[in-house]
Amino acid sequence: MKEESDKTLIVAYIAIIAFFLLIMRLWQIQILQGNEYRKLSESNRLRILTIPAPRGIIFDRNGIPLVKNTPYYYASLIPNEFDKRKVYLLSKVLNIPDDEILVKINENSLTPLSPIRLKDGLSFSDVAYIESRRSDFPGLIIEVEVSREYIYGDVASHLIGYLGKLTPAQSKDPAFIDVPLNAFIGQWGVEKLFDKSLRGTPGKRIIEVNALGREIRLLQGTPSIKGEDITLSLDINLQKEAEKEFGGKTGALVAINPGNGEVLSIVSKPSFDPNSFTRGMDYDEWTVLSSDKRNPMLNRALQSQYPPGSTFKIVTAVAGLEEGVITTDTKVDCKGGINYGKWHFGCWSKHGMLSLHRAIVESCDTYFYEVGKRLGIEKIYAYAVSFGLGTETGIELVKEKKGSIPNTEWKRKNKKNPWFIGETFNTSIGQGYVSVTPIQMAIMTGAAINGGNLYRPTLIKGKSPVLTGKLKAKPETLKIIKNALSGVVNESGGTGWAAKSQVIDIGGKTGTAQVAGIKKDSQFLPEKLRDHAWFVAFAPVEIPEIALSVLVEHGGHGATSAAPIAKKAIEEYMKSKNKHQS
User: Could you tell me the CATH number of the domain that includes residue 187?
Assistant: 3.90.1310.10
CATH number of the domain to which 87 belongs: 3.30.1390.30
Q: In the Cβ-directed half-sphere of 29, how many Cα atoms lie within 13 Å?
A: 9
Cβ pair 49, 113 in contact under 8 A:
no
Domain closes at, from 173, 202, 232 = 232
SS3 579: helix
pLDDT of residue 211: 52
Q: What is the pLDDT of residue 525?
A: 62
294 against 284, higher pLDDT: 294
Does 246 share its domain with 122? no
User: 80 lies in a domain?
Assistant: yes
- In this prediction, residue 40 carries a pLDDT of 45
- Does the structure show a pLDDT above 80 at 282? no
Instruction: Tell which residue, 385, 420, 262, has the closest CA to residue 312.
Output: 385
Instruction: Clarify whether residues 321 and 359 are in a common domain.
Output: yes
Q: Could you tell me if 134 and 263 lie in one domain? A: no
- When mean pLDDT is compared across 281-295, 440-454, 463-477, the lowest value belongs to 281-295
Claim to verify: residue 136 and residue 257 sit in the same structural domain? no
The answer, yes or no, to whether the previous bond of 138 is cis (omega within 30 of 0) is no
The better pLDDT of the pair 428, 36 is held by 428
Rounded Cα–Cα distance for residues 79 and 89 (Å)? 15
What pLDDT was estimated at residue 42?
Answer: 47
Same domain, 446 and 522: yes
pLDDT of residue 25: 61
pLDDT computed for residue 112 by the predictor: 66
* Higher per-residue confidence, 11 vs 475: 475
**pLDDT greater than 90 at residue 104:** no
Residues 204 and 337 in one domain: no
pLDDT at 43: 47
What's the CA gap between 294 and 69, in Å, rounded? 31
What does the alpha-carbon distance between residue 492 and residue 431 come to, in Å, rounded to a whole number?
26
Taking only the tens place, the pLDDT of each residue in 381-431 is 999 999 999 999 999 999 999 999 999 999 999 999 999 999 999 999 999
Query: For residue 411, how many other CB atoms are within 10 A of its CB?
Result: 17
Contact 318, 370 (CB under 8 A): no
Q: What does DSSP assign to residue 405?
A: -
* Same domain, yes or no: 78 and 163: no
Most confident by average pLDDT, 134-148, 180-194, 327-341: 327-341
Report the CATH number that the domain containing residue 521 is assigned in CATH.
Answer: 3.40.710.10
Residue 447 lies in a domain: yes
Residues 59 and 143 in one domain: no
Strand, coil or helix: what is 168? helix
In a domain, residue 306? The reply is yes
Give the Cα separation of 315 and 481 in Å (integer). 10
Residue 219 falls inside a structural domain: yes
> Has residue 404 been placed in a domain?
yes
Q: How many CB atoms lie within 10 A of CB 54?
A: 14
Let me know whether 76 and 206 are in one domain: no
Q: Are residues 493 and 534 in the same domain?
A: yes
Question: Using one digit for the tens of pLDDT, what is the confidence trace for 220-272?
Answer: 888 888 999 999 999 999 999 999 999 999 999 999 999 999 999 999 999 99
Asked whether residue 523 falls in the same domain as residue 504, the answer is yes
pLDDT for residue 193 is more than 80: yes
Whether 340 has a pLDDT exceeding 50, the answer reads yes
Q: Which helix (H) or strand (E) holds 472?
A: none
Would the pLDDT of 2 be above 70? no
Question: Distances in Å between the alpha carbon of 552 and those of 22, 297, 440, 489, 557?
Answer: 86, 17, 15, 19, 9
Query: Which of 96, 119, 149 is the last residue in one of the domains?
Result: 149
Q: How many residues does the chain have?
A: 582
Q: Using CA atoms, how far apart are residues 79 and 83, in angstroms rounded to an integer? A: 8
> In the chain, how many domains are there?
3
Structural domain boundaries, residue 78: 72-149
If asked whether residues 80 and 216 sit together in one domain, one would say no
State what percent of residues in the chain have pLDDT above 90: 60
Rounded-to-integer distance, Cα 350 and Cα 370, Å:
15
**Residue whose C-alpha is closest to residue 423's, from 382, 359, 378, 364:** 378
Residue 94 clears pLDDT 60, i.e. is over it: yes
- So what's the pLDDT on residue 31? 67
What is the mean pLDDT of the segment spanning 450-458?
97
What is the C-alpha separation between 242 and 194, in angstroms, rounded? 25
Is the model's pLDDT at 24 over the cut of 80? no
Residue 521 has pLDDT above 80, yes or no: no
Confidence of residue 356 (pLDDT cuts 50, 70, 90): very high
What is the pLDDT at residue 263?
A: 98
Reduced to 3 states (helix: H, G, I; strand: E, B; else coil), residue 63 is coil
Does any domain span residue 224?
A: yes
Residue 239 amino acid letter: Q
The answer to the question of residue 369 being in a domain is yes
Please name the helix (run of DSSP H) or strand (run of DSSP E) that holds residue 145, with its range, or none: strand 140-150
DSSP string across 416-460: SS---HHHHHHHHTT-TT-BB-HHHHHHHHHHHHTTSEEE--BSB
Average pLDDT, the chain: 88
- 532 vs 9: which has the higher pLDDT: 532
State the average pLDDT over residues 495-511. Answer: 97
pLDDT at 36 over 70: no
DSSP 519: -
Check: CB of residue 368 under 8 Å from CB of residue 313.
yes
Q: Is residue 3 part of a domain?
A: no
Indicate the residue among 115, 130, 149 that finishes a domain.
149
Nearest Cα to 232, choosing from 276, 263, 210? 263
What pLDDT band is residue 522 in, cutting at 50, 70 and 90? Answer: very low
**E runs forming strands in 213-349:** 215-222, 230-231, 251-256, 263-269, 332-334, 337-340, 343-346
Nearby residues of 568 by Cβ (< 8 Å), 6 or more positions away:
241, 242, 245
- Look at the pTM and tell me if it is higher than 0.95: no
Q: How confident is the model at residue 11 (pLDDT cuts 50, 70, 90)?
A: low
